[in-house]
Structures are given as C-alpha cells and as structure tokens.
C-alpha cells in the first residue's frame, strides 16, 4: 500500500519540536518501507532459491528409467522443480534424515522445503494412516526434527490435514492433537529460528474459515510464520487465496500463508481429492501472485493419493509415472 504524502508545512511555522517530530516520522516511515521491501525480497529469494532434491521420487524414477519415453518429460516438468520433502514414521533416524537433507540444501546455497507428517493418528485411518505411536513419541520426534534443522534456513509445513481432520478423531483426543501441534510450532520456533514455519490450514472446501481460524489459534499459529492451504489438493490459486484471506480476517493476525500449487492447474471439485482424472500441474514455485507469500509444490506430483481414482492399486506416497504424465498433460 503506498504511503500517503504528508502536507507540506510552511518552514517559518515549524518549531524545533515539530522539526524533530517530522524527522522522527520520516525515519519511521523510511524504516517501515525498508522492512517491507526486505520482507518482500526475502520471500522472492526464498521462492527463487529453493532446493531441488536430486533424490525425489520423480527424480529417482527418471534417472533409473532413462530409456523410458516418459523419463525426459517427467524430469523436465517435475523432477527439475523444487518440491517438498516429506518426513514421517518411514524415516528410521529422523535427526540424520533431516540434518542430511537441510545440509545438502545449504551446501547448494538453496532453501529446502520440508513437510513434518508424523502426528499420531495421521490421516484418520485413511490411505496415509500412521504417525507416531503416542504423544510422547511425537514430542521426541519433533524435538529431533527441529533440532536437526538448527539455525539453517528452511521452509517447514507442519502436519498437513492435522487441524482440518479434528472432527474425525474422538472428541477426547482433539485437545491432545492441538497441544501436539502447538508443541511442534514452539519447538520449531525455538530450535530452528531461521525456519519459516507454516501450520497447515486445510483447503478452500473443507473447514469454514471462522472454524479453521479458531483451530489454528489453538494449535499455536501465533508462534508460526503463518499457515499453508491446499496441500495435496487441487483447488485454484484464486480460491485458495480467497479462503486464506478469510481465515486471516477471522484470525485477526494477518499471518503469512503459502499455497500448494503442485496440482491445481485445472482446479478441483469438492470431494474429488484422490487421484482425480483431469488434474494438471499448477504454476511452479514462485512468490505469491495474490495475497500468498509463496506458491509452493508441497505435494510431490506423481505420488499417489492412495489406491483410488486413476491411481487404483497404487499405495499412497508411491510415485507413478502414469500419474505424473496425466498431470503433465492435464488429462
């Protein structure tokens, strides 16, 4: 928003006090502009200097299947783009896995995108069921996760769907879920001070903005940089921007937010979230084009949502070249 010009005051009418006040005001305004400019530049740098994982699922598939006619297309359209790296109960040594990944990004002079996905009762017994065994195990896990990042720069999306799925877990366990998310945000703030942490806020057609805002508050969003929307979903950037803006209004905090654009090129249909036909890659990672701070590829394009839709028989999280090509072609 442009800073309004101040009315000029005749020089002779200025007292020493008003001169000092004017100088102070000008200094404050200049500082505010500089801070805003620095923040915008930081967001631009973060989006343009993201780490491209040479061992992502699509990258490994393209490398191991170089003779396949689909490999070059998958490499160019997907594997060569910066994509979120998901960490969960499949990582037997979470400290080593996170430290190694963040270290590789730092050595490359890039910023990694990490996804913490290990909350107990993850995905409410859905296709991505799993997570830490209990609250104590999760706290120990997120302690190691956050400490392994340390003071290195990173972007962290915290527990996709965990807030939005509160209604599908027993009422007596909801408070514990919120407390664990708040703990995760707090540990990241303390142990990874240079990480940009975004607590996941569902998507535009799941939980109402007012309800989501209340739940994000209880889950500790005040101590995060902001929240994420549309993770692993298909809704347009415009829909996601509007939803996030509504959440922010309800929050009353004006938090930063990021949008997952990995598969939203054709938009989505409410309820059709599991490998739907007709989906397409969205805009590659970049600074937000609307109100978002960043547009990211959080979900790995080509990784299945589960054995459903056009991914029948493909487990959640498994890369499929067929699914990848469908996203490239938009069919």
pLDDT in tens, 190-206: 999 999 999 999 999 99
Handedness of CA 300, 306, 309, 313 (dihedral sign): positive
Average pLDDT over residues 213-226: 98
Burial of 313 (0-12, 13-18, 19+ CB in 10 A): exposed
Report the alpha-carbon angle 125-130-133, nearest 5. Answer: 115
CB 97 within 8 A of CB 145: no
Give the mean pLDDT of the chain: 88
Total residue length of the chain: 331
Of the chain, the end-to-end C-alpha distance in Å amounts to 40
Q: Could you confirm whether 161 is annotated as catalytic?
A: yes
Q: What's the pLDDT band for 35 if we cut at 50, 70, 90?
A: very low
CA distance 319 to 58: 7
Domain ranges in the chain? 83-299
What is the H or E stretch that residue 286 is in?
strand 286-287
Does the structure show a pLDDT above 70 at 38?
no
Does residue 15 register a pLDDT over 70?
Answer: no
Q: Residue 156 pairs with which residues in a beta bridge? A: 114, 197
Structure letter (DSSP) for residue 263 = T
Given the residues 53, 200, 303, 305, select the one marked as catalytic: 305
Q: Scanning the structure block, which residue is given the tokens 């109960």?
A: 89
Sort residue 140 into left (φ over 0), alpha (ψ -120 to 50) or beta. alpha
- Architecture per CATH, domain 83-299, reads as Alpha-Beta Barrel (3.20)
* Region at 306 (left for phi over 0; alpha for psi -120 to 50; beta for the rest): left
**Residue 77 DSSP one-character state:** I
CB–CB of 187/223 below 8 Å? no
Residue 231 has pLDDT above 90, yes or no: yes
- How do residues 138-167 score in pLDDT, each as one tens digit? 999 999 999 999 999 999 999 999 999 999
Q: Which two tokens stand for residue 189?
A: 């703030």
Which token pair is 291?
């109100």
- Exactly one of 161, 241, 260, 303 is catalytic; which is it? 161
CB 153 within 8 A of CB 111: yes
DSSP state at residue 319: B
Per annotation, catalytic residue among 123, 200, 260, 303:
123
Say if CB 41 and CB 15 are below 8 A apart.
no
Work out the average pLDDT over 125-144. Answer: 91
The pLDDT of residue 12 is 30
Taking the C-alpha atoms of residue 166 and residue 269, their distance in angstroms, rounded to an integer, is 22
């Amino acid at each position: 928003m442009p800073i309004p010009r101040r009315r000029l005051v005749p020089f002779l009418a200025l007292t020493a006090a008003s001169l000092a006040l004017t100088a102070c005001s000008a200094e404050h305004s200049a500082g505010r502009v500089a801070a805003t400019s620095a923040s915008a530049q930081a967001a631009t740098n973060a989006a343009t200097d993201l780490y491209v994982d040479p061992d992502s699922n699509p990258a490994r598939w393209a490398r191991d299947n170089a003779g396949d006619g689909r490999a070059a297309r998958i490499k160019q359209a997907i594997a060569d783009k910066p994509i979120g790296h998901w960490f969960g109960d499949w990582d037997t040594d979470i400290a080593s896995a996170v430290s190694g990944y963040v270290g590789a990004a730092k050595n490359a002079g890039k910023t990694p995108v990490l996804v913490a996905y290990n909350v107990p009762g993850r995905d409410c017994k859905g296709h991505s069921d799993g997570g830490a065994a209990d609250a104590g195990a999760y706290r120990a896990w997120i302690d190691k996760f956050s400490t392994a990042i340390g003071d290195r720069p990173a972007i962290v999306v915290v527990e996709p769907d965990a807030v939005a799925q509160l209604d599908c877990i027993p009422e007596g366990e909801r408070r514990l879920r919120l407390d664990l998310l708040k703990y995760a945000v707090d540990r990241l703030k303390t142990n990874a001070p240079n990480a940009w942490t975004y607590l996941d806020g569902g998507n535009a057609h799941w939980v109402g903005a007012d309800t989501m805002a209340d739940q994000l508050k209880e889950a500790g969003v005040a101590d995060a940089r902001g929240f994420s929307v549309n993770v692993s979903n298909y809704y347009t950037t415009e829909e996601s921007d509007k939803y996030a803006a509504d959440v922010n209004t309800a929050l009353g905090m004006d938090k930063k937010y990021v949008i997952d654009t990995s598969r939203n090129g054709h938009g989505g249909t409410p309820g059709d979230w599991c490998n739907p036909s007709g989906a397409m890659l969205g805009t590659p990672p970049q600074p937000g084009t609307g109100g978002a701070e960043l547009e990211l590829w959080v979900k790995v394009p080509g990784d299945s949502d589960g054995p459903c839709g056009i991914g029948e028989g493909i487990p959640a999280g498994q890369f499929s070249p067929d699914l990848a090509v469908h996203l490239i072609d938009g069919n």
